[in-house]
Copies of this chain bind each other. A is one copy, B any other.
Amino acid sequence: MKRNNKLSLALHTLGHMAAAPEQVFTSEVIAGHNATNPVVVRRVLGLLRVRGLVVSGKGHAGGWRLARAADQITVAEVYDAIGAPFLTAEPLAAEKDCAIVAAMQSTLHAAMAEAEAVLRRHLATRTIADLAKAMAKGAKESRDFRFPPR
């Protein structure tokens, strides 16, 4: 997983889990599917586990699976679990006491908060099951996947 992000890894993995709910996936297998390392997988899926999206087991039959039905897990929940929002208020250090800086921060923060709300609302309409459906349809059709109307 070179320069990708946790959200992609998480959604990809959950999509596969949704497509085979009976199956238990080891972090090693998942890592193989994502060109990354098992430890990285455990770290990312660990974020999902504390939010109750997946469960993990140790030992011989150990591994990962969904904690509930795929159509009961929205993409927004995964996004929140990863906790790396695309939109955040600006940091900016210099001249903290400058009124222009304050006005700028206020403007940017308001705009981002609004955009982030739209983003989450959009992602809340999609579930992991929707991702798995694409696989059921087959890879060929999915290459020109179209977002269905709301």
Name A residues whose Cβ lies closer than 8 Å to a Cβ of B. 1-5, 7-8, 11-12, 15-16, 19, 33-36, 75, 86-87, 90-95, 97-104, 106-108, 110-112, 114-116, 118-119, 122-123, 126, 130-135, 137-139, 141-147
Contacts and interface: CB of A to CB of B under 8 A. Distances in A.
The secondary structure that dominates the A interface is: helix
A29 B89 CA distance: 26
B11 A98 contact: no
A122 B114 contact: yes
Contacts of A36: 94
Contacts of A116: 115
* Most B CB within 10 A of own CB, among A11, A87, A93, A100: A100
A122 B135 contact: no
Contacts of A5: 90, 92
B145 A130 contact: no
Contact of A87 (B87, B92, B97): B87
Contacts of A135: 98-100, 103
Nearest to A124: B111
